[in-house]
Chains A and B, each alone.
Chain A
Amino acid sequence: GQQVMQIPQYQHVQEGEDFTTYCNSSTTLSNIQWYKQRPGGHPVFLIQLVKSGEVKKQKRLTFQFGEAKKNSSLHITATQTTDVGTYFCAGRLTGGGNKLTFGTGTQLKVEL
């Protein structure tokens, strides 16, 4: 079936190192949203991208939507312990109905 895969599944970094998670879809996406879920918490919306090649920044976070609208990335510069959590991408798949399909998630751990 149609899937949205994220890599890596897990990432351990030292505080201050950079981190990137990649989101790949089997079909074209109309949009891409990113959510963060802290351990024991619930997903919280971070951002939405809708245009091919779009790049948006939020402080140390940079979000990118691929030119073909089939992939996206989230890059965190100089990670902090507050960045710990699982990052999910989500998007509307072409032919997937009017709903968001969530990615498999990347769990980030930051060590001092």
Chain B
Amino acid sequence: ETGVTQTPRHLVMGMTNKKSLKCEQHLGHNAMYWYKQSAKKPLELMFVYSLEERVENNSVPSRFSPECPNSSHLFLHLHTLQPEDSALYLCASSPGLAVSYNEQFFGPGTRLTVL
């Protein structure tokens, strides 16, 4: 599937680095999401954007900063991360505005390791 793409696929960074994750959807969807998937934990919703406006911020630490410049692109800017932030970061998109009732299409994820 190429509907939702994420780059990079793998990222290793130190705690003092600044990096960004990129997500692009080619499906014409109106909503985009960032999720964190850690081992032995359920998928954790981080941010939701609907029509480029942030509609959900799930008590995420400020070292994670999202950006949605248009309905097709979503970024997650990372700075001064902690080792416990190591996880698979998944981007998703969905059609329509009822974000909890629409099927979500996930990208392949970015595997992040913080040293």
Closest to B107 in A: A42
CA A4 – CA B108 in complex, angstroms? Answer: 24
- The dominant DSSP class at the A interface is loop
B56 touches A98 (CB 8 A): yes
Closest to B111 in A: A40
Chain A CB count within 10 A is highest, among B43, B56, B58, B99, for B43
Confirm or deny: A44 has a beta carbon within 8 angstroms of a beta carbon on chain B: yes
Q: Smallest Cβ distance from B59 to chain A, in angstroms?
A: 11
Confirm or deny: A109 has a beta carbon within 8 angstroms of a beta carbon on chain B: no
Confirm or deny: B11 has a beta carbon within 8 angstroms of a beta carbon on chain A: no
A99 touches B103 (CB 8 A): no
Given A97-B56, A102-B42: A45 touches B105 (CB 8 Å cut-off): yes
User: Which residues from 68 to 100 on chain B have a C-beta closer than 8 Å to any C-beta of chain A?
Assistant: 90, 98-100
For A, the interface residue count at a CB cutoff of 8 angstroms equals 24
Confirm or deny: B114 has a beta carbon within 8 angstroms of a beta carbon on chain A: no
Q: Smallest Cβ distance from A24 to chain B, in angstroms?
A: 13
Confirm or deny: A25 has a beta carbon within 8 angstroms of a beta carbon on chain B: no
Closest to A5 in B: B42
CA A45 – CA B94 in complex, angstroms? Answer: 11
- Per-residue interface assignment for chain B, residues 27 to 68, with 1 indicating a CB less than 8 Å from any chain A CB and 0 otherwise: 000000000000001111100100000011010000000000
Give the interface of A toward B (CB within 8 A): 4, 30-31, 33, 35, 41-45, 48, 50, 88, 90, 92, 97-105
A sample of 16 inter-chain contacts (CB < 8 A) reads A33-B103, A33-B104, A42-B106, A42-B107, A43-B90, A44-B106, A45-B105, A48-B101, A50-B101, A88-B42, A98-B55, A98-B100, A99-B56, A99-B58, A100-B100, A105-B42
Give the interface of B toward A (CB within 8 A): 41-45, 48, 55-56, 58, 90, 98-101, 103-109
The 3 closest A-B pairs by CB, nearest first: A92-B100, A102-B43, A42-B106
